[in-house]
Amino acid sequence: MRAMVLEQPRPAENSPLALRDLPTPVPGAGEIRIRVRACGLCRTDLHIAEGELPLRKSPLVPGHQVVGVVDAVGPGVRRIREGDRVGVAWVYSTCGECAYCRKDQENLCDRARFTGYDVDGGYAEAMIVPEDFAHPLPAGFSDLQAAPLLCAGIVGYRSFRLSNVQPGERLGLYGFGASAHIIFQVARHLGCEVYVCTRTETHRQLARQMGAAWVGGAEMTPPEPLDAAIIFAPAGSLVLDALRVLRKGGTVALADITMSPIPQIDYASLLYHERTVRSVANSTREDAREFLRLAAEIPIRTQVETFRLEEANQALQAVKHSKIRGAGVLVIG
């Protein structure tokens, strides 16, 4: 099978991924094999390719927003059958035994494995996944529209929930890439006013077209205080920008897996009055099920730009420089 492989991290401009012909994997007990049709691009893929996240496996096939059709099942598989269309998200497996797993916090499992990081992911024509971590996909979404839902959507949805924003309140989104443009639709569906802070003019145009209540830069002051904010960009300085315009008792949720250092926070002016800053780590399978049901109900429509598998390096460069309008997707099958 063809796959884009990372052997040594380096800047995206230096094309860290190489096209290789790898053996087609064979599913073991409790596993299924997916013939990949599409794989969404995520900024986490960029962090891995450039070495901001330490490489755990080499060579590695990245990609964790995978859509495909099951073409083989291993012994003991009972729920999923050949021919089913499924998705694979960031969380590849959890132990099911630790204190976190027992408390419905499998997103914090100490022995969790992650797709396209600990195991080979979806920048390939086929991949293996445990049956219990494959997600049936709503029929109303094409492969290309479904792919960004599997991380940008699921982790974005968890960030939305942990921001504690309520229907009718004002939500600020910092950064307006794949995840933010999906969660924008969730927020509007639930009756929130959405304020978008982004530095890229094409992203500002998209936010306006989608009906943002206000669009501007992070250094600007929205016309009303925010009840909650989600920071999607990996820039620690945005935490201060969001706190500056947050009402008393509001929450700033940090959606990215990594972030540049957060500057010193002045307690009296920015954090006092019970304002909260909280990180968001991974997601649970329940997050995925709940979000995919909601996505079909709304229904969410992702803005997609496509790349061929062999164009994965150019795609990561586009992610790095915020040149993708909406979400980027590799077309594979």
Other Cβ atoms less than 10 A from the Cβ of 230: the count is: 26
CATH number of the CATH domain containing 7:
3.90.180.10
CATH number of the CATH domain containing 251:
3.40.50.720
Task: Summarize the confidence of residues 258-284 as an average pLDDT.
Answer: 97
The whole-number pLDDT of residue 17 equals 98
Task: Kindly state the DSSP code that residue 160 receives in the 8-state scheme.
Answer: H
177 in the same domain as 232: yes
205 in the same domain as 99: no
Over 90: is that where the pLDDT of 77 sits? yes
142 in the same domain as 17: yes
Residues 6+ apart with CB under 8 A from 157: 183, 186, 283, 287, 290, 291, 294
The whole-number pLDDT of residue 333 equals 78
Query: In 3-state terms, what secondary structure has residue 106?
Result: helix
Distance CA 198, CA 4 (A): 31
290 in the same domain as 141: yes
Give residue 239's pLDDT band: very low, low, confident or very high (50, 70, 90). Answer: very high
For residue 100, give Cα distances in angstroms to 12, 253, 285, 311. 35, 21, 14, 39
- b/e per residue 257-275 (b: at least 16 CB within 10 A): bebeeeeeeeeeebbeeeb
Residue 48: its H or E element: helix 43-49
Phi, psi (5° rounding) for residue 55?
Answer: -70, 125
The whole-number pLDDT of residue 251 equals 98
200 in the same domain as 128: no
173-227 confidence digits (pLDDT tens): 999 999 999 999 999 999 999 999 999 999 999 999 999 999 999 999 999 999 9
Over 90: is that where the pLDDT of 300 sits? yes
The whole-number pLDDT of residue 42 equals 97
The whole-number pLDDT of residue 105 equals 97
245 in the same domain as 200: yes
Q: In this structure, are residues 211 and 181 in contact, taking their beta carbons and an 8 Å threshold?
A: no
Task: Summarize the confidence of residues 124-134 as an average pLDDT.
Answer: 98
137 in the same domain as 20: yes
242 is in which domain, residue-wise? 154-279
Over 90: is that where the pLDDT of 274 sits? yes
311 in the same domain as 173: no
164 in the same domain as 120: no
Sign of the CA dihedral with 6 first, then 151, 331, and 305 last: negative
The whole-number pLDDT of residue 31 equals 98
